[in-house]
Amino acid sequence: MLSRRKFLNLSMASLALTTLPSKIQSKQLIRNYRITAEITPHLFDEKGISNNLWLYNKQTPGPLLKTKQNEIIRIEFVNNLDEATTIHWHGIKNINKMDGVPYLTQNPVQPGETFIYEFPLKDAGTFWYHAHFETWKQIAKGLYGPLIVTNEIDQKIDDNIVILADDWRLNKNYQIDEKSFGSLHDWSHAGRIGNWFTINGEKSPEYSITKNGFTRIRFINASNARILSFGSSLKKMKIIAIDGMLVKPFMEDKFKLAPGQRIDLLVETYNLSTINFYEISGKKKLSAFKLNIDKSNNAPKKYIDFLPLQEIPLHTKPKNLFIHMQGGAMGNLAKAKFEGVEKNFRNLAIEDKKFWAFNKEVGHYDHPLASVRKDQAINIEVWNDTRWPHSMHLHGNHFYVQSKEFKNVKSPILRDTYLMQPGEKSQFLYIADNPGKWLFHCHMLEHAASGMIGYIEVL
């Protein structure tokens, strides 16, 4: 373990990561997409059809948005639902007005309206997009999809497989369990845990990949609250990127993936015919997906050099921000302020459906946590003083954290979503060079909806 002093003296991310253009350059290539949100039937398996999913472009997951690094993406978004919504671009170091947070960075997109999202993509990696209006309901109904930004490394890889995992909560008729939305038990405990596990909307899909080559597998956890764990028929799995950021490759026999997190694996397919992946978080191992290594390869590749981001020394003493997380069932939150009024925990729960707090204040989208100067080094000291794990996500930035999520990682890594265990104290270190109001919240979506949320403003 690194000492606090040594951690704060570690280098920060490269200038390439922390530089965001103030305006879009006209010579950059623009990738155009059109996304429509609407109610869509979906066949979960041969036994039944769900008629009440909310999907992008009538598919689950939503369409793959794919661009190259340093291009501009332009999305014409049409809302054909019967309620308002927005789209957040999870993990993107975005322009603040394009971040998709209702009432904070944009007005909600009303039924029948169209909104144009347009922003540059400075970092290559695995990202995703999802609804950010009543996320606890709209994501649970299917409003999400993958966003992949490629660079020259991807040209050396034979196959890219996106694995978007979710656990839906379905009733006996294979419909989204509407009656369970807003469950006080879910909101005050672990969150909405599902009963129907899928990969890319299917049960145990199979994919063909190339012999004697390299396959990049991009895992994304779109669950409301379930912490997924993945194992495989491989003895070890090589992790090459975390939350979209390249890392020095390391080996693990299994890995956890909290809601909102992403992990990329590199698989060398020499002397293999199939690879099976499993979800192993429960008592029973579930088949996740299968890779059939059956595509011919006329020009096998021998070596790929993954270079993690170069680093620069911290040039100023970081400003410390303190986040004390409290609340939930079996918690120690006796009272907290909500909209300026102090209430005891029982009244917060019964009257307002609020169970969680930062620094004894119940948050919401427009709840300020702190204001900091642009280009200031920031250290968020976070204490999970609850009985539950929390997947903490910072919009518009990646931060260095001394991760406790992996057995074989000793140095801090860049994340935008970090899983904190009960009682854990961590430090999130970054340069606040991206102006605007950026949410910081738990990505167990029921926890955010019931108070574990606020924003940091970069002036």
pLDDT in tens, 116-159: 999 999 999 999 999 999 999 999 999 999 999 999 989 889 99
pLDDT in tens, 334-388: 999 999 999 999 999 999 999 999 999 999 999 999 999 999 999 999 999 999 9
Handedness of CA 164, 262, 140, 64 (dihedral sign): negative
- The structural domains of the chain, ordered by start, are 4-15+311-458 (2.60.40.420), 16-154 (2.60.40.420), 178-295 (2.60.40.420)
Q: Residue 13 above 80 pLDDT?
A: no
pLDDT in tens, 314-331: 556 899 999 999 999 999
Neighbours of 455 (CB within 10 A): 26
Q: Which amino acid is at 454?
A: G
Q: Which amino acid is at 263?
A: I
How far apart CA 409 and CA 429 sit, in angstroms, is: 17
- Token pair in block for residue 333: 């939150």
According to DSSP, the β-strands at 319-327 and 262-268 are unpaired
Judge if pTM exceeds 0.95.
no
The whole-number average pLDDT for the span 95-107 is 97
CB 434 within 8 A of CB 360: no
